[in-house]
Amino acid sequence: MQASPFDPPEGSLRKSVGRGAVATGLAQSVKVSTQILSVIVLSRLLSPQDFGIVAMCSPVLVFIALFQDFGLTQATVQKSSISHDEVNYLFWINVAVSAALACLLAAIAPLIAAFYGEPRVSLLVAAMALQILAYGLGAQHLALLNRRMAFGRLAIIEVAGAIAGLAVSVAWTLIDRSYWALYAGTLTGAVLPALCYWMNSRWRPGFPRKVDGVGQLLNFGAGITGFNFANFFARNLDNILIGRYWGEAQLGLYDRAYKLLLFPLSQIANPLSRVMVPALSRLNGEPDRYRSAYLRVMRLMLLVALPGVATAVAMSDILIPFFLGEQWRESSDIFRALGFAGLLQPLNNPAGWLFISQGRSGDFMRWGIVTALTSALAFAIGLPYGALGVAVVYAASEYLRTPFLWMYVGRKGPLRVGDMLRAATPFVLGAHLALAAVWFAKPSLPHQETLAIIAAAILSYLVALVAALLFPSGRETLREGLTLLSTRLTKPVGRQVK
């Protein structure tokens, strides 16, 4: 019997993580496929200028959204025990802050339009206030579903939101073939999940009232917000600078390349954090189990993701025109440059799981500042050479930061630098070898685009798997992957996800 409606479900933690990983993995495969399909379909229906206008607005929305959560959803998930009154207090903070930020967003919309010299941006920025409100109303309900490890429900909600958003965007183009089609899809993708979180959560808010003892939650959330604030500049300053100095056409090319590669990668790591953060938070007193749980999931993620990235990088000159159309061919070089950053981001992004689950939100914030400063320097160096220059120098900065990140993570907690080096080397090295193999094999691949891409992917995964077999940790991961796959194929998924 559960001690509290906020507790995770009964059963072993390992089974909960396994079920969550499967449910999240299935959901993300559908969601990422939907996002890639969205890029392909909408890129053919809309112009680079339409995407450029939305890309001008997106950093503003992301920046405002940094402050509405204040890290309180992560605080709800990470805290060992939490009461109804504490959740209620955090809910009303989220709502009040979201309402204030929505008003602020509408007020500054004309200033954003003036900054870009693009009047169409003003109304679009103001309309995005609705997304802020939707998120604020559903934030704590999402956190509680995540804390309870209701991963099956969360997976269904995420898939429904992604599919509905794409459907609305495509349908809107039948009425108005403009950037408003993109807005309609993103708004749908914000409102529908918020409604579903309320429907699936057993918790309902009461009247707002202050609760003693929430200072620790607010302090933890402040560290998370500090990281998010710094990370905003690392992830969005490139869009702002390209849009300001090179215009919407260059920004549209950069945005499509970024979305087609790096954004899907983040959508693999970010949802898995919903599985790993609550699980790792409950293993803080058991360092061996903590280390094992993290490394197992991380290695499997690298095994699945990196050979695909290597294929995309090597085949970018074929892949971009094939999927997006000839008008986007200029984006292929940008895509290739960003792809090298993509070879490291599946390794580096999950470091946030470690900072949060160990309660190191201050360290998380400080690393975010380092990332922001080094990324800003990279963008400044590359900016005179256009969007391609920004992409090349940004990728180089990712390689330079990686060893320092893991030295910083390993200063505290159960995971050390040596653990990460032994675990990640087979897959990171294998991905780079796979990229080289596909690149040199390109002249021998079939001339038909579809067959060439399929052959390149097969070659990439084969090379990566052979490289992994040369290392003990690689062989162990392959055994685990085969065992997990055979188990899921012989056992109904419905039994795995409650």
Instruction: Report the C-alpha gap between 61 and 273 in whole angstroms.
Output: 22
Nearest to 271 by CA among 137, 93, 152, 421: 152
- Our CA angle for 279, 285, 291, nearest 5°, is 60
Within 13 Å and on the Cβ side, how many CA atoms surround 423? 21
Residue 1 — very low, low, confident or very high, per pLDDT cuts 50/70/90?
Answer: very low
Q: Per-residue pLDDT for 255 more than 60?
A: yes
Q: Which whole number is the average pLDDT over 393-422?
A: 93
Q: Assign residue 247 a region (left: φ > 0; alpha: ψ between -120 and 50; beta: otherwise).
A: left
Residue 32 vs residue 1, higher pLDDT = 32
Whether pTM > 0.95 for this model: the answer is no
- pLDDT at res. 22: 65
Of 183-192, 266-275, 305-314, the poorest mean pLDDT is in: 266-275
- pLDDT tens-digit map of 170-187: 899 888 888 888 888 889
Compute the distance between CA of residue 368 and CA of residue 350 in angstroms, rounded to an integer. Answer: 13
pLDDT single digits (tens) 32-43: 778 778 877 887
* Residue 4 pLDDT level (bands cut at 50, 70, 90): low
State the average pLDDT over residues 365-391.
92
Query: Packing angle between helix 215-281 and helix 361-382, nearest 10 degrees?
Result: 90
Percentage of the chain surpassing pLDDT 70?
A: 88
| Separation in Å, CA 484 to CA 68, 175, 385, 464, 471 | 39, 46, 47, 19, 20
Q: Is pLDDT of 213 > 60?
A: yes
User: What integer pLDDT is reported at residue 401 of this predicted model?
Assistant: 95
- Considering the chain, what is the average pLDDT of its residues? 83
Beta-carbon count within 10 A of 466 CB: 14
Q: What is the pLDDT of residue 79?
A: 66
Quick check: 161 and 197 in contact, CB under 8 A? no
Q: Tokens representing 150?
A: 């209701």
228, 63, 386, 49: CA torsion to nearest 10: 140
pLDDT at 442: 92
Q: For residue 494, is pLDDT > 80?
A: no
What does the pLDDT read at residue 59?
75
pLDDT one-digit tens code per residue, 217-248: 777 777 777 887 787 777 778 888 888 888 87
CA gap 469, 303 in Å, rounded = 12
**Cα separation of 156 and 196, whole Å?**
10
Residue 85 has pLDDT above 70, yes or no: yes
Q: How far apart are CA 224 and CA 70, in angstroms?
A: 7
Q: What is the pLDDT of residue 117?
A: 82
- Write down the pLDDT at residue 404: 95
Indicate if the pLDDT at residue 265 is higher than 90. Answer: no
Q: How confident is the model at residue 497 (pLDDT cuts 50, 70, 90)?
A: very low
| pLDDT the model gives residue 382 | 93
Q: Higher pLDDT residue, 116 or 16?
A: 116
What is the gyration radius of the CA atoms in the chain, in angstroms?
22
Query: Where residue 495 falls among pLDDT bands split at 50, 70, 90?
Result: very low
Q: Residue 25: its pLDDT value, please?
A: 66
